Structure 1
């Protein structure tokens, strides 16, 4: 399917920038006219992925968080959140609910939350080189919804 728009963004891994990431991604998605629920779900998933970069990937230092997003003609949104941090030794284990390496103040639900809000979540990681989380969701066209409501 053909891309209709793309954006790239990078920022330092400070917790204050998590809100910036949410706002930037939601602004980029505005052209799709998402519902409040769709937008809230995507913003939450982005927040979880960015927070993982800040808390886990760069736990002992400041690094760069990269976000790239693509919009497709079929209404799909694909967002990649990437870091060049410590990497995840066991991605499958890290994606288990309640698993965390962030200490007792972390719930270990980040990946579970992402999976519950998005159509697809993929995680690729290499120890010492970083992690890429790919979030995918289809935004229902308001026109499509209106057509269904009148049938």
Structure 2
């Protein structure tokens, strides 16, 4: 079985750093470059922050679940909440056009990771699944 972990934590902003460190420690087993590690940490920060801010709307009693899996030269990360979910149409068109920040966190995740999937159910929560493949350094 590939190495993996599951972390459950309250939806508190101070736990974003904890999530970053734990995922980075697992990713370090794939001998990433500093840049690759920073990309993973940035993506985790965005996903966990979204769960806290949007999923639970700042309620510190929510639960954020993070799972990460190593599989060969790949890392897969799941960040899940049981919060508000993402509504089909979060803002009316006239407000969405004015909102330049809407969706930037997801754009960053997609930029830093190879694959990003979002599973959401309004009123029931959201799961973000991110994957990144690392180049393996041959041992010599």
1:19-98 equivalences under 5 Å are: 19-62=17-60, 63-73=62-72, 75-90=73-88
Q: 2:132 is matched with which residue: 118, 123, 137?
A: 137
CA distance in 2, matches of 1:116, 1:16: 24
- The alignment of Structure 1 onto Structure 2 pairs a total of residues equal to 132
Give the SS at the match of 1:80.
Answer: strand
Q: Report the aligned-residue RMSD.
A: 2.2
- Which stretches of structure 1, 4 residues or more, deviate above 4 A after TM superposition? none
Structure 2 length-normalised TM: 0.86
Cα deviation for residue 133 of structure 1 reads 0.2
1:120 is matched with 115
The residue number in structure 2 matching 1:149 is: none
2:101 corresponding residue in structure 1: 107
| Stretches of structure 2 lacking an aligned partner (at least 5 in a row) | none
Say which SS state the counterpart of residue 3 (structure 2) adopts.
strand
TM, length-normalised to structure 1: 0.80
Structure 1 unpaired stretches of 5+: 147-151
Q: Work out which of the residue numbers 6, 10, 16 in structure 2 matches 1:8.
A: 6
CA distance in 2: counterparts of 1:5 and 1:89, whole angstroms? 34
User: 1:4 offset after TM fit, Å?
Assistant: 1.7
